[in-house]
Structure 1
Amino acid sequence: MPPPRDADSGSEDDLDLDELDPIVQSPNDPRLNSSVDSANRRTANGSTNIPLQRLQKYGSSRLWRSRGRPGRAGDADEDTEGLLGSWPGQARGNNQLPQWSESEDQPGWNVSRRKYQNLNRQNSISQGRDTHSRRLSLRQSMQISDFVRQELADMREHDQELNGHESREVEVGQSLKKRFPTNVVSNAKYTPWSFLPRTLYNEFSFFLNVYFLLVALSQILPFLRIGYMSTYIVPLAVVLTISIGKEAVDDIVRRQRDAEANSELFTVLSFSDTARDGVVEVQKKSRDIKVGHVLKLEKNQRVPADVVILQSRLTELTIDARGDGTDASSSQASGETFIRTDQLDGETDWKLRLPSPLSQSLTLKDLQRLKITAGAPDKNVNEFVGTLELQPRQASAYDPHVLKENLADDNGGSSDLDRSAADRVISAPLTIDNTAWANTVLASSTTSYGAVIYTGRQTRSALSTSPSRSKTGLLEYEINNLTKILCIMTLSLSVILVALEGFEPSNKKPWYVAITIYLILFSTIIPISLRVNLDMGKTVYAYFIHQDKGIPGTVVRTSTIPEDLGRIEYLLSDKTGTLTQNEMQLRKIHVGTVAYAGEAMDEVAAYVEQAFATGAGRHESKASELGSNTKTRREIGVRVRDLVLALALCHNVTPTTDEIGGEKVVSYQASSPDEIAIVEFTESVGLRVLQRDRENIVLQSVSTGQIVVRAEIKDIFPFTSDSKRMGIVVSIASEIPGLTNTDELWFFQKGADTVMTSIVAANDWLDEETANMAREGLRTLVVGRKRLSQQQYADFSSEYTDASLALHDRDTGMASVVKTYLEHDLELLGVTGVEDRLQKDVKPSLELLRNAGVKIWMLTGDKIETARCVAVSARLVARGQNIYTIAKLKAKQAAKDALDVMRNQTESALLIDGDSLHLMLSQFRTEFITIAVQLPAVIACRCSPTQKADVAQLIRQHTKKRVCCIGDGGNDVSMIQAADVGIGIVGKEGRQASLAADFSIEQFCYLTKLLVWHGRNSYKRSAKLAQFIIHRGLIISVCQTMYNIAGHFDPKGLFKDWLMVGYATVYTMLPVFSLVLDTDVDEHLANLYPELYKELKWGKSLSYKTFFTWVGVSVYQGVVIQGLSQLLVGEVDGPRMLSVSFTVLVLNELIMVAVAVTTWHPIMIVCIVGTACIYAASVPFLGDYFDLSYVASWSWAWRVVAVGSISLVPVWGGKVARRMWKPPNYRKVQGI
């Protein structure tokens, strides 16, 4: 290494890097002072000295050569190498120096030059400064180990980023070195390699399948072999094939949908200095989109990944169609765009999205200067916290022969002030309003550019898609218990038969081998086909529901629980949009001294027209109607004007224009029907919202058609379910008296009375009037305002901006600032009452369900008075029924006293508010629910979504009864998912509840048919189907037992091979399964007598009583069929006895099915008659088992008739006698 050179020696182009780089210099090194002096002398001489960091910034090739360029030895290069050391990933030879390409990534080495500089700085400071050569030697010797340590840290950082545990920084349009998940949509449950292992594992997680697998495998052992192995393998194979085949078809369909989504083409901006405008549009498939890419999105195009909207421009067609240059330019500048989120959160209303002003004003090329800081991936689709930074402009590449003045000219001749602004990082907050999540759709006629921040499994859509809770019907639990009894019966019967021989079998086999053989012979007692038949039956029930024209649009999303629809004992219902239409209309306003409703709204319109008239004589006619302008009437007019103006300004509604049939149609888009109802009201009384964007609201007089108010939006505080209020700060420009001072600003706010009471100034009428409106069934909103000075707003804005830039607890901080500066001492302007009418046929539906024994709970977020009014009008509470109210409980003792009163109010309905409910659930959880479930009706108001779900879960756990929850909004999803049966209504607020539910309906009145008709039929049919399948297995096992007893307990099979397989499939399967078409009463009688539904809750159709009844019937018929066949034929074994026994066994099952049918269906006739014909046609092919010459004789025929009659007649006679002595309820209503 050459010795240090004098600072003044050499040419101006030869840089002494030791002197220029502060890393090398020690603060106490005397050479530092000489270097500074040298630098000063050079500056004075006009030479251009560039610090090392400046050289790196300009990317000088004298420090790092481009990849692939041959190195050249030289002093300058040696100095560079000595100072910077060997850069990772670079091969070094005799003639090759370290290389770094500004435009190329370093594969395998994730370290930036800045990070590497910092590392060298730390190393050099920690080393001794004895000599210059020793410094260089130590630095070079330490670089490898420190670099490896740094690389390991980067790898850990990569893993954390990949797992989504940390926030991320996204450089827009840049190739990011950190690894993120690929943007692949994958809804498939299996891979080609995992399909069979996983499906087989799932199937053999059922005990019955494992049992029959062991039975089949036992036939491999010679001492356990009874017949052909296929006799036992085929039934199991059929069951597995049906189940696995269904899974395969479903997964193939999912894969096809995924492939379509992943192959969809999107436009991605590629930044290039050689391209015109600096960008090139490239088409990429959805799966190739990466974090940092900039997407170009058009109208009706799906968003493939989570993006931050950077810019949005109206299409030329839209701008031309508007014709209003002011509105178009305003929308163009603000960049407003709308998206549809129905596929994400189920809400059908368009949502307004806005780019940050920081990015909206940039050119497309300058978008690559942006850096986005976003939080860790999160499943909350309604929240986002991030920061957008505009990085300084990159200076031109350094050339030592170009002076500083020329460099400035290359940057556009910008002034020192402009350059200081360009070199400063500018930050802006990002919120949910600046985002568009994956699977949303661009709805407006705009071209939007968005930067991808989350891809693949880290998108909101993927994270919020959680597998639904696997639901098992109550009938399946009951059948599982019966199956356990059958297993015990099988084992007991096997042991008894061996015990009767004194545990010394006649075949000389060990007693345990004999027991095992008997277990194999009696394996038919346990019905392997039961689960498959029930699953197929559920598919049939779902088809019936879907095809029912009386409940159009009904969708079955969970096909495993249709029988539970017939066992519902508790119905938990939302109010708004479920019992009501969620079609809002503002019916009443109150301004403190007077209320207006109905025809009196004409007077409100007159006040508004008078207040916003812009020319002489425009309101003379209306003024004459108002009578003399007394002071009182003028004050009322001002109050009405102020309230209507506040309603027209304080909202999130945006007017949109669409072309329908060649005509322009204006509609309002908002996140809530209440908001639209309020804006429609202001238009009906004369004040129309003409245009609204992020910056301005323009109001128009309906009567004159002139713009009367222009308001500049300063801040908006949107409504949330937690805050229950919405506010806005505006600066108003208008000719309205009292509002003409443009130096003053106004804060308007509206919200629920529970939160606004403490925000508005003291008054003596608010509580009374909100209670009056609630008793009329109206939803109330309280409206207030506050005047702000410029200084007040400046103080607020400063702190609010700081809070909005925080990455942690941003919402809490922002809410705290708003509360401190704005939300106190508001002037109370008035109260509005919005009507939400009951849905069609709600009253008769609730009355029918109540008569059917269903206890109904209404859980709503509305106030007590509104909930009471709706409950009475909807007949949720019976006529004349007492309503016991529990409200505003704070103390534990008060709650205990209320419980004591409830114990004596078992015939009353309960009305309880959210705070009292919370106290009850937290202090007296068991006591409260024990009493509440006994009440005929419960109304819980001011309930949060969490409380709704908690109540549903508590009722399920406490009663062990079937609970059904029904709702229509996103706040009902948790309640629906917590229920045994969740039903969602496709409502005005979207499809979120519908998508999360087990069943989706369009109107509440459809619920009665779903429960009373389809639910009842599903349960009755499945119960009967299960009993016949159990009977079919038991009777053949009893025949086997009789055969073994007659054969001196020799454990050998009676019906072997095809006879065994054919009996369970071809000869009996279709007739038994056709019972899923049976109905005991028609639909009219089911609705007319809802008491028929009430009896199902005791489960009498499939109980231990009915089970053991069928066991008795099976034992009787099995003993008769096998015993009489052996007795009448005169032989214990042989083809003649076998032909009689098996024929009677098949015909007995067919006749038993026919006797059990209540209402004949053509398909049932075809199944029974067709199966009998199939058996008759197959007899000639059963020569290996039957004596065909004997079958063709009358001797065989009369024996078959005799045995069959003795088997069937007593059973049929007993059934007829039982119907006559104690007829079931369905026979009573039929009059039979």
Structure 2
Amino acid sequence: SFFPSCLLIEEERHVRANDRNYNDKFFYADNHIKTSKYNVFTFLPINLFEQFQRVANAYFLVLLILQLIPEISSLPWVTTTVPLVMVLVITAVKDATDDYFRYKSDQQVNNRQSQVLRGVLQNEKWMNVRVGDIIKLENNQFVAADILLLSSSEPYGLCYIETAELDGETNLKVRQALTVTSELGADILKLAEFNGEVICEAPNNKLDKFKGTLYWRGSKFPLDNEKMLLRGCVLRNTDWCFGMVIFAGLQTKLMQNCGRTTLKRTSIDKLMNTLVLWIFGFLVCMGVILAIGNTIWEQEVGRSFQVYLPWERPVSNNNAVFSGFLTFWSYIIILNTVVPISLYVSVEVIRLGHSYFINWDGKMYYGQKDTPAEARTTTLNEELGQVEFIFSDKTGTLTQNIMVFNKCSINGNTYGDVYDEFGHKVERTACVDFSFNPLSDRKFTFHDSSLVEAIKMEEPSVQEFFRLLALCHTVMSEEKNEGDLLYQAQSPDEGALVSAARNFGFVFRSRTPETITLYEMGTAVTYQLLAILDFNNVRKRMSVIVRNPAGQTKLYCKGADTIIFDRLDPSNEDLMDTTSEHLNEFAGEGLRTLALAYKVLDRDFFEEWMTRLLLASTVMENREQRLADLYEEIETGLLLLGATAVEDKLQEGVPETIACLTLANIKIWVLTGDKLETAMNIGYSCNMLRDDMNEVFIISGHTAAEVQQQLRSAREHILGLSRVSNTADEEKTEMFSNDSVFEETIIAEYALIVNGHSLAHALEPELEQVLLETACLCKTVICCRVTPMQKAQVVELVKTNKMAVTLAIGDGANDVSMIRTAHIGVGISGQEGMQAVLASDYSFAQFRYLQRLLLVHGRWSYFRMCNFLFYFFYKNFAFTLVHFWFGFFCGFSAQIGLDTYYWTAVNHLFVWGSLAVYFAILLAMQSDGLFSIFPSQFPYIGTARSCLAQWSVWLVILLTTAVCVLPGMAVRFLKTDLYPTLTDKVRRLQKASRKQGPREQNLRRVRRTSSRRSGYAFSHQQGYGELITSGKNMKHTMHDDPVRALCKQVRDGLAPTSEERAPF
């Protein structure tokens, strides 16, 4: 077609090795990346266009244009130009600086060197690498693009990578090439002749998934994520490897994940935008009022001044309405300072300062890991002071996530506790001596010696138990010195279990893609690894299929007890009941549990099942579902071995932090993947659950109807008791019945615990509202056995239906979804990598720092921002309304009441003077200690979003305005009565005479005394006074002499009074 295919939606990718001509037909992206937005020529137009997208900047640009019209402008254009240019320049410099650093980073990456195979190896810049090229990587080098691993220096085509830049995890991961391509080795000639074609999925942002098929030599081979090296990874502990480029440049998974972060707006942002719109409307209203005043004044009074202040065109035709129209725009210019041009810039500067306060807070610095608190955003600081709901993970967030093998149950017997001869539990005992095992870990401690004795006596169930722990995992072993083993585990749980098996005599020594080598009580045993049925959050279990040296094929499985028990053989019912009791005991002590089981496989059945597995792994459509069905098929009829119990202790200060946050009326919900008993025990340890609570409701229904009934029963029970025991708070509840801040204040001591299978039903559209209403009536909510998606759904449910600010805190990859969903996301830099930190808005090392983040920094930021906005708007209104009131005294002539240089002086006085007073008085009165001592004494939560919705707020505004205006108006009107001027007296007499009307004169008849009259009155004829005053006998007309015209008006009674002439 005429248009390149890159403009179309790519559904499937075809890549042929060492064939650029073929690959160029598809117009795939090259490996050049560009994250910068501008260049030298496009910076000015694009940046100005982006800045004038903001309403405030566009508004002041319109004002500047109006000021250039002389008929309506009474201010010099400089008064608007200078602030606008300052704002534009500051923003442009910031944008240019940020973009320059992006440009430098792009150049640094694009100019990195890579070895590309073009007949021979030659150095090329990363930007010149193309899809289909074969490149060579060496140890400690970054991967240039998303490549398919072909061969490596390690046996079986293995290589090790570090994905810290990709997902934050620092532990090494293993990748393995296909056997057919690993045979290519480092032979340049064979690699140059390699012409395999890959058909795979289109570019996407899924870091942990890849589906594709390699077609070569008439055969096809399945490809998955374990065969891929993604851009941003680093090659470790591998001398070299070769790979074929599948995705390049902006189409790599790393760049696909570099999209813009969703903009999170605070309550103050929304309130501020609303206020600016109201203020703009208020400005228009003031302009209309003054324009109407000008029209009336010109019509009634202004005409008298046209003699010596004539109207200019086009108003010269005595059009008072048009004069008012021009006056409206003139007053819009004069009163424009009521809409603050520097508001948004000032707010961003304050937020930046608050972010630095968080970063510099020494009380949130964790010295053991050299980890300070970090504000990864500057836009949410004041929102921290508005948080009402906290959603917390348990493992690694409330607990330390440092796992220690503590207890176990094997074949119905428990191990871990030590008892004396009377059957009493002994708390302090000596550690077990593991000197019999030269490969044991000296840091490992265990106190029950009976387990070691069972190992030495070669009890089959005990040996099979630890054999399972040594085989069923994805741990990588690194042995730098003889017997010095270092395990690289994807989770602390796996590391703890493999270390336990190591110390009890079943040492995981090494692995290849096809074998696992153990040292069983000092004897090396190599197992053939046939399949790995990996763990995921839906399966909640992991299995391996191995063949021992005797040729027996076994499946070993470990996972959540509820999942494993559903797949046990019916003959295990008694053992399952006993193990369940042990699991409940372990969970009651707050331990993390797993159930272990195995199965002996028939060889013929396994071979047939394996054939179907290989076939399902090569299909492109619905591959995951087909594999899941096959896994489900083989993981049945299991034989139970026992269960493990791993200890994960609480972090320091967690109970105190939760208690303090609870006093601050913040609700804490715990969302964990652990079982019910473990979650409840941690709840009691954290003081979230207490014995003095009225009741703890457990929702454990298996159907939607059961869950609905349990939720409604709990809600009716709570509301029924509340009406009886908390009648004193009913009025408060009714008053704020529509506000989430107060609707639950009548409830204090109830808890709700929801199981994972019940939560799946409760989150359905028909029941989610019932779940929300019931949960919000409780002080504590704990959801257990939840998946990452369910965590996000719970957060979204509260976020969508409640007018409340939500915060999610976690430390692992399974917490990323809820961290991104909540209004505010907090990441704990813990043992599970850095994925949560990379997705968060704030991060620190310990849960206890959340108290200071919310109660100190959050509330201070909110308090300071509110005070700033109050003061900022007050400053602008106080200065602007002077010109509004002055309009009533100057004939609404749009004249300024203050010199323009005075404006700058006032602004500086307000800004610097207020800062001095603030730091001298208010800042000294703020204490972070007071917030922790009196956490509930902070009445500002919810005020930002509800202030414009409360009628009381508008009543206060109206009354305040009336109280402020009334004294001035009273003085103005009462002054004429109390202290009248001469003009006032004359006007009063004139007004009184008009009301009385004309009087009839009663003339008395008197005697004529003509002898006393002057003869002049009768003898003199009419004079020439009228002719003289008319000016007809003069050379200059009256119209040429304003003074004479004024005299005539005085004589005719048409002249304006002194007060009417005052403005001129």
Query: Which TM bucket (shorter chain)?
Result: 0.7 to 0.9
Structure-2 separation of matches of 1:1113 and 1:258: 61
Distance change (3 Å), C-alpha of 1:193 and 1:958: farther
- Letter paired with 1:168: H
Shift of 1:197: 4.2
Please name the residue that 2:692 is paired with. 880
Structure-2 separation of matches of 1:562 and 1:908: 31
Structure-1 separation of matches of 2:513 and 2:918: 59
Residue 468 of structure 1 pairs with residue 261 of structure 2: yes
Shift of 1:208: 2.8
Residue 518 of structure 1 pairs with residue 331 of structure 2: yes
Please name the residue that 1:585 is paired with. 404
Q: How does 1:59-458 map to 2 (within 5 A)?
A: 152=1, 159=5, 163-172=9-18, 176-178=23-25, 179-192=27-40, 194-271=42-119, 280-313=120-153, 332-363=154-185, 364=187, 365-367=189-191, 368-391=194-217, 425-458=218-251
Counterpart of 1:852 (choices 660, 664, 684) is: 664
- Letter paired with 2:877: L
- Letter paired with 1:1048: G
Unaligned 5+ runs, structure 2: 303-310, 312-319, 366-371, 420-425, 441-448, 719-746, 974-1064
Residue 843 of structure 1 pairs with residue 655 of structure 2: yes
Partner-residue secondary structure (3-state), 1:785 = strand
- Letter paired with 2:684: V
Partner-residue secondary structure (3-state), 2:272 = helix
Please name the residue that 1:395 is paired with. none
**CA contact 2:537–2:788 (8 Å) conserved in 1:** no
TM-score by structure 1 length?
0.67
Shift of 1:544: 0.7
Aligned residues between the structures: 881
Distance change (3 Å), C-alpha of 1:177 and 1:776: same
Residue 698 of structure 1 pairs with residue 489 of structure 2: no
Q: Is the deviation greater in 897-906 or in 951-960?
A: 897-906
Structure-2 separation of matches of 1:649 and 1:466: 40
Partner-residue secondary structure (3-state), 1:651 = coil
Deviation by residue 1:580-603 (Cα, 9 ceiling, x = unmatched): 111112211111320111559999
Please name the residue that 1:724 is paired with. 540
**CA contact 1:1034–1:1115 (8 Å) conserved in 2:** no
Distance change (3 Å), C-alpha of 1:709 and 1:1094: farther
Distance change (3 Å), C-alpha of 1:550 and 1:845: same
- Letter paired with 2:72: L
Please name the residue that 1:904 is paired with. 717
Structure-1 separation of matches of 2:74 and 2:635: 86
Please name the residue that 2:347 is paired with. 534
- Letter paired with 1:453: I
Counterpart of 2:553 (choices 745, 754, 760) is: 745
**CA contact 1:312–1:447 (8 Å) conserved in 2:** yes
Q: How does 1:696-1095 map to 2 (within 5 A)?
A: 696-700=515-519, 706-733=522-549, 742-762=550-570, 763-764=573-574, 765=577, 766-820=579-633, 822-878=634-690, 880-881=692-693, 882-892=695-705, 894-905=707-718, 906=747, 907-922=749-764, 923-1064=766-907, 1066-1072=908-914, 1079=923, 1080-1093=925-938, 1095=940
- Letter paired with 1:596: Y
Partner-residue secondary structure (3-state), 1:856 = strand
**CA contact 2:439–2:503 (8 Å) conserved in 1:** no
- Letter paired with 1:568: V
Q: Is the deviation greater in 529-538 or in 935-944?
A: 935-944
Structure-1 separation of matches of 2:829 and 2:439: 41
Deviation by residue 1:624-677 (Cα, 9 ceiling, x = unmatched): 9959x9xxx96x822111100111011100112459xxx996321122111111
Structure-1 separation of matches of 2:829 and 2:958: 45
Structure-2 separation of matches of 1:192 and 1:307: 34
Shift of 1:1017: 0.8
Unaligned 5+ runs, structure 1: 1-151, 272-279, 314-331, 392-424, 614-621, 734-741, 1124-1232
Partner-residue secondary structure (3-state), 1:876 = coil
**CA contact 2:230–2:253 (8 Å) conserved in 1:** yes
TM-score by structure 2 length?
0.78
Q: Is the deviation greater in 161-170 or in 567-576?
A: 161-170
**CA contact 1:589–1:596 (8 Å) conserved in 2:** yes
- Letter paired with 2:568: V
- Letter paired with 2:539: S
Shift of 1:724: 1.3
Residue 495 of structure 1 pairs with residue 288 of structure 2: yes
Structure-1 separation of matches of 2:393 and 2:967: 53
Please name the residue that 2:493 is paired with. 674
Residue 480 of structure 1 pairs with residue 302 of structure 2: no
Please name the residue that 2:464 is paired with. 642
Deviation by residue 1:312-332 (Cα, 9 ceiling, x = unmatched): 11xxxxxxxxxxxxxxxxxx3
Structure-1 separation of matches of 2:602 and 2:280: 83
Distance change (3 Å), C-alpha of 1:718 and 1:918: closer
- Letter paired with 1:183: N
| Percent identical residues | 28
**CA contact 1:612–1:701 (8 Å) conserved in 2:** no
- Letter paired with 2:511: R
Deviation by residue 1:14-48 (Cα, 9 ceiling, x = unmatched): xxxxxxxxxxxxxxxxxxxxxxxxxxxxxxxxxxx
Q: How does 1:1167-1178 map to 2 (within 5 A)?
A: none
- Letter paired with 1:438: R
- Letter paired with 1:462: M
Distance change (3 Å), C-alpha of 1:777 and 1:1009: same
Distance change (3 Å), C-alpha of 1:1023 and 1:792: same
**CA contact 2:150–2:157 (8 Å) conserved in 1:** no
Deviation by residue 1:444-485 (Cα, 9 ceiling, x = unmatched): 233111111001121111222332211111112222233233
Shift of 1:796: 2.0
Distance change (3 Å), C-alpha of 1:503 and 1:444: farther
Deviation by residue 1:878-934 (Cα, 9 ceiling, x = unmatched): 452232111134033651452242243243111012232232231122233233223
Structure-1 separation of matches of 2:863 and 2:31: 48
**CA contact 1:582–1:988 (8 Å) conserved in 2:** yes
Structure-1 separation of matches of 2:639 and 2:615: 28
**CA contact 1:842–1:1004 (8 Å) conserved in 2:** yes
Shift of 1:574: 1.1
Structure-1 separation of matches of 2:450 and 2:232: 54
Structure-2 separation of matches of 1:683 and 1:1110: 77
Shift of 1:864: 1.4
Deviation by residue 1:1165-1216 (Cα, 9 ceiling, x = unmatched): xxxxxxxxxxxxxxxxxxxxxxxxxxxxxxxxxxxxxxxxxxxxxxxxxxxx
Partner-residue secondary structure (3-state), 2:817 = helix
CA root-mean-square deviation: 3.3
Greater RCO, 1 or 2 (C-alpha within 8 Å, sep 6+): 2
Structure-1 separation of matches of 2:222 and 2:388: 51
- Letter paired with 1:951: V
Shift of 1:245: 2.3
Distance change (3 Å), C-alpha of 1:673 and 1:1118: farther
